[in-house]
Structure formats: structure tokens, C-alpha cells
Amino acid sequence: MRYSHLFGKTSKNAPSDADSPNARLLEQGGFVEHVMAGVYSWLPLGLSVLRKAEQIIREEMNALGGQEIFMPSLQPKEYWDKTGRWDSVDILFKIKSQTDKMYALGCSHEEVVTPLAQKFTRSYKELPLMLYQINTKFRDELRAKSGVLRGREFRMKDMYSFHTSQADLDAYYARVKEGYVKAFARCGLDVKVVEASGGIFTKKISHEFQALTPSGEDTLIACGSCEFGQNVEVATQKEGDACPNCGKPLVKTKGIEVGNIFDLGKKFPEDFGFDYMDETGAHKPLVMGCYGIGTTRLVGAIVEAHHDDKGIIWPKSVAPFQVEIVPLKSKDEEKQKLVEATVSALEKDLAERGIETLVDDRDKGAGEKFADADLIGIPLRLVVSEKSLAAGGVEWKERAAAEAKSVPLEGLGAEIASWLKS
């Protein structure tokens, strides 16, 4: 991809209303564009990151036996009346059609997935059943804030599981916990699995997956040595107490909730009269779990965890491009031709290796190109110039490293491919 053709531009100035690093850097870098409070358009750079993060999550949900479906955001009020949540969920968007019929814009999909699963599931032989989707969600937030972290419209992966027994749900719940930690690690995030309240879903304790960053909106009591952590809203421990797992002192820290899992018990199957037949033909109640990951929020959390004062530092796994080639103009016509030919050959070589490359072919000076490269945060920057060619090749600069080095052109494609795998 040539930068001059890429839709979306970087901006020298931070948006005036940006209240967090992700809001500032994603907008300044041309990843997203603010439409109104809590609502964003995703531009090609941002959409590329979002799709990669969602694909990682999709792979991990498939590995957990999940089957992907796609459910409507526009949902009948009657379903929400059945579960009693039409009146109890304060952030539910409610809309009225021109015929005065009322609809919900889904903030969650228990009301749709439960009757859907019921339609096709009769017997214990068809259980457990795990269904998930990656879809747009709506929340009528009083105060949208923190860029893409707390929006009114956002994307989310939500999975729902149906089981014949509490023991079967408990075993699956534990597997999902591990699958989530793996999915977040692949996206470049270290998360703590912390106990939290069930929120609008259940009275039981749930688990949150918290990415630890200083700008996080949740306060946690966590152990620095082991996995233990609790959201302060349910904490039975306080700062300085000995960790119940390992005895080290607990500390107060900030986190961004990137995922959550809930044991929903029998509520939703009971609301819809959904049961199953066991081996003896008797009708038995089902138990249900739900598992969420906010994917647009996840992109924001990755930025919060991976940036410096110059811009974003994308993990390789979710970067919009893996390599950015920055050609610098030469005043000498022959040398300029050599720069251009080198860039074209390198671009072709990388394309053949399946490496996504952005070439900054814009008519701009070195300073501006380097500042933009730091801002958009592609993992590897290669400078091709009269000077680099005289030194025998290209200048290799990793976004996460302080120093640049000169590398020869020969074998460069293979070296990049192996660095990307490392």
C-alpha cells in the first residue's frame, strides 16, 4: 500500500476533547474518526487492527468449541419483557418504530440466543452447545468517555454456552478463562483475571480480564507475584494485606476491563421455558454461561498498554502493516532513481512473502515522515535513501527499539520474515 493512496490522514495536533492516550493517538494517527460522544468511524488503518484482533479471538473461540453465528441488533421488546430486563437494564437503548412498536438495540444477546438455541436443542446429546458472534452493541451511556474504551456503539465478541449440569458449566468456564488469557496474550496484552460482581447479568461473582495500565478506569487489589486479583467493588482484601495465594503484599493498581465471563445459572433458560431431555427421557433444566470481549475496546486497551510520547507501538500480531518503507528524496536524479528502484524491488519481495507493507511515498521531508511513522506505530521501519544505499543497504529501525542499524539489501526479505516470526 502506498501512503499517498491511503484514506485517512495523520494530524499534527491532538483532538481537543481527547481524554486518554487511546482517544488521542487513534484519532491523530488516522485510525478512527470521532462522530459524536462514544461513536466512531473506523478508517482503513484502524479497521485493519480491529479485524486482526477479532480474528485472533475468533480462532480462540473456535478452539473452545464455539460455533460462530450472527444475530440481529434490532430486537423485539417482547423478548426483553420475558426476562424482565426491559425495565431493569438502564443502559438499554429503546427505540420506537413509526407504527409505535418498541424495539431494543442489543447491549447483549441472551434474549435472542436463548430462544434460538431452544429451537434446535432437545436432547442431552446436543449439549453442551457454545454459540458466539462478533457484532455491534449499543449502550445508552450517560457519559461516554476514554475514546474507544467506553462507547455508545461498539463491537463485541459474545459467546453463550448451554449445559446439562452446573459441573459441566464450571469445567467449561475454567477452559474459557484459559482461552481468554491466551487470546489477550496473542494480542499483546498481559491480563489479570479478577473477581468482580455479576453486574446486570447475575448476582453471582463473575470474572473480569483486566489489562493493567496506569490510565485504567477500574481499581484493583492485585498480587504482583501471582494471578490473584479482585476488583475493589467486591474486594475482600485491601492494599498491604497478604495475598491469599502466595502471601506477598497486595497492591492497588489500575486496569482496563477487556473481557468478562458470567455464570448465568438457570435464569434465561427458565425465562424461555428451555429445558432438555436426559437419558431417561425426563425434562431437566439447563444452565448457561456468557463470555464477552469488547473488540473495539480491546484495540483501545492495546494502545493504552503500548505507546510512548511519540505514538503507538503496535504488537506485531495486530499491527495494520508489519513493515513501513520510508524512501527519502535525493536531489541527484540518478541516485533518486536508485532509491525508487530499491523501494519497488523490496516492496515486491515483501508482497511475495505475504508481508503487509506501507510505503510512505508522500512528498514530505524526513522529519515529518519519521514523526508519522512513530505516531502510527508500525513494528518495523526501513529507510531507503542516498545515505543508506551508500552505507550498503537500508536503515532498519524497530518501533519498540531506541537505535537504528544499517542492514544489507541482500537477504533482507528473508531477514524481515524471520524477525516477524520471532
Q: Is 243 in the site for Zn ion (CB under 5 A)?
A: yes
226, 371, 389, 417: residue in contact with Zn ion (rule CB under 5 A): 226
Distances (CA, A) of 153 to 50, 66, 118, 150: 15, 25, 28, 9
Q: Residues near 202 by Cβ (< 8 Å), separated by ≥ 6? A: 262, 263, 264, 265, 267
Round to whole Å and give the CA distance between 257 and 197: 13
Give the nearest distance from C-beta 302 to Zn ion in angstroms. Answer: 26
Query: Binding string, 246-275, against Zn ion, x = CB under 5 A?
Result: x-----------------------------
# chain residues binding Zn ion, by CB under 5 A: 7
Pick the closest to residue 180 from 167, 193, 171, 168 (CA basis). 193
Round to whole Å and give the CA distance between 170 and 151: 31
Q: Is 222 in the site for Zn ion (CB under 5 A)?
A: no
Give the nearest distance from C-beta 247 to Zn ion in angstroms. Answer: 7
* 218-223 vs 229-231, strand pairing mode: antiparallel
11, 67, 245, 344: residue in contact with Zn ion (rule CB under 5 A): 245
Give the nearest distance from C-beta 212 to Zn ion in angstroms. Answer: 14
Give the nearest distance from C-beta 194 to Zn ion in angstroms. Answer: 12
222, 223, 299, 412: residue in contact with Zn ion (rule CB under 5 A): 223
40, 162, 228, 291: residue in contact with Zn ion (rule CB under 5 A): 228
Q: How many helices (H) and strands (E) does the chain have?
A: 12, 23
CB < 8 Å & 24+ apart, contacts of 90-99: 90/140, 91/139, 91/140, 91/141, 91/200, 92/140, 93/138, 93/139, 93/140
Q: Is 159 in the site for Zn ion (CB under 5 A)?
A: no
Residue (49 or 223) nearer to Zn ion, CB: 223
Binding range to Zn ion, per CB under 5 A, among 142-150, 235-243, 299-307, 321-329 = 235-243
Residue (167 or 242) nearer to Zn ion, CB: 242
Per DSSP, what are the bridge partners of residue 316? Answer: none
Residue (249 or 408) nearer to Zn ion, CB: 249
Binding site for Zn ion (CB under 5 A): 223, 225-226, 228, 243, 245-246
